[in-house]
Amino acid sequence: MTLPFVLDRTPRPPLPATRAEMLARGWDEVDVVFVSGDAYVDHPSFANGLLARLLEAAGFRVAVLAQPAWQSCEPWRQFGRPRLFFGVSAGNMDSMINHYTANRKVRNDDAYSPNGEIGRRPDRATLAYCQRSREAFPGVPVVAGGVEASLRRIAHYDYWSDTVRRSIILDSKADLVVFGMGERTILDVALGLAAGRAVKDLRDLRGIAYRLGASEPPPSGSDTLELPSYESVAADTLAFCEMTRISHLETNPHNARRLVQRHGREAVVVNPPALPLEQDEMDQVYGLPFTRRPHPSYGAARIPAFEVVENSVQIMRGCFGGCTFCSITAHEGRIIQSRSQDSVITEIKLLASQPGFKGTVSDIGGPTANMYQMRCSRPEVEAKCRRLSCVHPTVCKLLGTDHGPLKSLMREARSVEGVKRVLVASGVRMDLARRDPEYLQELAEHHVGGHLKVAPEHTDPEVLNLMKKPSADDYVEFDKAFKAASRRVGKKQFTVPYFIASHPGSGVEEMIDLAIFLKRNSYKPDQVQDFIPSPFDIAACMYYTGLDPMTKEPVKVTKGLKDRRMQRAMLQFFKPENYFEVRRALEQAGRQDLIGSGCDCLIPDRPPKEALDRKRREATRAFTEETSGDHIRGGPAAARAERGGRKQRRPRKSIGYRPNRGK
């Protein structure tokens, strides 16, 4: 399917977000209503804005229902009955990751909401939105998509409930699920329904997953594989591993087979992924007439996620790194899809002409900064390849790693009139960058504002192997090369390394070794991450099963909150507030040799004043909570229990994230 060609990039008004805006256009109905858990931002980095513009370009009337109040279906009725379908998405993130930290605590803000306000979408937003869509207008097809639906299309481990959940297709009762990047598929769905085809007639589309009823026979043949059933993967970790292994080997759109997974008497069918966009199609998609602004109804409200990308330009999508803890490859694919240089430069010129632009392009990149126009040099091999990473354990000899097109683009970008600086804020793939010293030199001289983001993630060889990341030496050598390149141009610049705590394979001992590495190299990470098992990811399978799904070999897993806190503290052992956690970890591992004043010692013998002050505050807070109200030891509640009076009520089970929870 060829995407609609766009000739005019002049920004047009955003699509209707209210009934009044729909009527102002002279419309008495719309073809499609996009329902999203994110604020409506008419910018190519926001899926609801991009897909809405795509269907608009194809001639459809589209309305956007952003962050609706889901307690009733009335908001779904404001545009009237959609002629074709409801398109439902939780937003740019899985709603559970959006709501909860790695320790399952409610986050304090939501970057995709006005002013970062929490409570504007429910837990498992796809389920709630699909339900309200069906209630509002029974019989209107419901098409779910986005990251949440994409990564939950088959049975999956859900970290927040600590259970194996069914395919989201069954729980949401969506007619179709569009997985992966949805431009081709959503356009095919819209065109098919507009031509009078029934939803069932669209089941042959690529990038589609759907439910089969008990009376419908599942497809079979050489182009179809059957996954272990939901019942077996929920009961047997080996079956879960096999499901994960097969599903990841069937992600190359050029050779992927159809997958079938039985759930009781029903079945879920997952077609091969949509084919990647060609360069001219990428140019068309990113050349749509975006205003590049939030919808005017938000007024002066800040949308933090928009502020990050407001002055950025995406030059490619996809990632062939295949990191086992990352969902980018699973959602966007490992085949790099790049825009032409002309397309990117045209967007930068448009950006430079916007009122309020101050001369800095905050980022030209994508999932990674330096995979632009890198593809397999042998298309006939790429069409057969099932390798999960093109760069692990070594860079494939057939992978084109030429930074030439990227260097040309960077030079052209910084010469655009009105542009003072073009920064690279996306993470740089170090093993690729080191292959081109000239790229590294240009990066240091022109495109870094003092700090460059990189992601070594860990230092332990086994953990890095499980992550599909290069060795720690790779980071050390890259860091030296980058600092040397910076010195040559008279700049003092640093890398900002990102590390992960509690990843499968990493225990306290491995984190202690990482802390020693950090100290010896004088690295003090300001930002660290706790591993969160994301649905569908290989690392999530390791976390749940304790096995590597590709080899079935045992993997060390850290699940306890106490142990996870210790691992996180080890990454910032130098902070006084982490003293007691670090000491506990060292003593548990029998590494008292690292306590003291030796050159490798991580903490001193005596706790610093800040650590003691924090410990006192925590003890005071814990005592206050324990002795407040009926919870005081020996207080009224305890006395009633001793006298055989009314039984104490059990704490009510959490119902998950809801507006105003905890207030």
Total domains, the chain: 3
Answer yes or no: are the C-beta atoms of 188 and 294 closer than 8 Å. no
Q: What is the pLDDT of residues 181-218, one digit of tens each?
A: 999 999 999 999 999 999 999 999 999 999 999 999 99
Decide if 472 contacts 459 (C-beta within 8 A): yes
Same domain as 518, residue 635: no
Q: Which residue has the higher pLDDT, 639 or 321?
A: 321
Q: Does residue 625 lie in a domain region?
A: yes
How far is residue 252's CA from residue 260's CA, in Å, rounded to a whole number? 17
Mean pLDDT of 480-500: 95
Verify that 69 and 192 share a domain, yes or no: yes
Conformational region of residue 181, where left means phi above 0, alpha means psi within -120 to 50, and beta covers everything else: beta
Question: What would the two tokens of residue 381 be?
Answer: 């091999």
Residue 259: predicted pLDDT: 98
The confidence band for 509, taking pLDDT boundaries of 50, 70 and 90, is very high
Helices (H), 271-397: 279-286, 304-309, 328-332, 341-352, 379-382
Distance, C-alpha 451 to centroid of its chain: 23
More confident: 98 or 615: 98
Same-domain status, 206 and 334: no
Residue 7: pLDDT band with limits 50, 70, 90: low
Interval 101-110 mean pLDDT: 94
Q: Identify whether residues 503 and 616 lie together within a single domain.
A: no
Tell the burial category of 108 from Cβ atoms under 10 Å away from its Cβ (0-12, 13-18, 19+). exposed
Q: What is the number of residues in the chain? A: 663
Q: Is residue 597 part of a domain?
A: no
For residues 525 and 633, membership in a common domain is answered with no
User: Does any domain span residue 264?
Assistant: no
617 and 528 co-located in one domain: no
**Final residue of a domain: which of 181, 211, 241?**
211
Q: How far apart are the first and last CA of the chain?
A: 51
On whether both 147 and 294 belong to a single domain, the answer is: no
User: Which of 165-174, 362-371, 625-634 is least confident?
Assistant: 625-634
- Domain at 115, CATH number: 3.40.50.280
User: For residue 559, which amino acid is it?
Assistant: K
CATH of the domain at 364: 3.20.20
Q: Is residue 242 part of a domain?
A: no
Q: Are residues 616 and 529 in the same domain?
A: no
Are 206 and 309 found together in one domain? no
- Same structural domain for residues 201 and 325? no
Q: For residue 107, is it within any domain? A: yes
**Residue 422 belongs to what domain range?**
286-540
Q: What are 489's two structure tokens? A: 């141009």
Cα 286 to chain centroid, rounded: 20
Q: How many helices (H) and strands (E) does the chain have?
A: 25, 22
Do the domain assignments include residue 425?
Answer: yes
Could you tell me if residue 191 is inside a domain?
yes
Q: Tell me the pLDDT tens digit for each residue of 227-267.
A: 999 999 999 999 999 999 999 999 999 999 999 999 999 99
Q: Which has more confidence, 612 or 437?
A: 437
- The verdict on pTM exceeding 0.85 is yes
Picking from 211, 241, 263, the residue at the C-terminal end of a domain is 211
> Residues 178, 292: one domain?
no
Does residue 586 belong to any structural domain of this protein? no
Tell me whether residue 609 is exposed, middle or buried, using C-beta atoms within 10 angstroms of its C-beta: 0 to 12, 13 to 18, 19 or more: exposed
Task: Check whether 621 has a pLDDT greater than 90.
Answer: no
Distance of CA 645 to the CA centre of its chain: 52
- Do the beta carbons of residue 52 and residue 34 sit within 8 Å? yes
* 61 and 175, same domain (yes or no): yes
- Residues 195 and 83: beta-carbon distance below 8 Å: no
Domain boundary among 502, 518, 540: 540
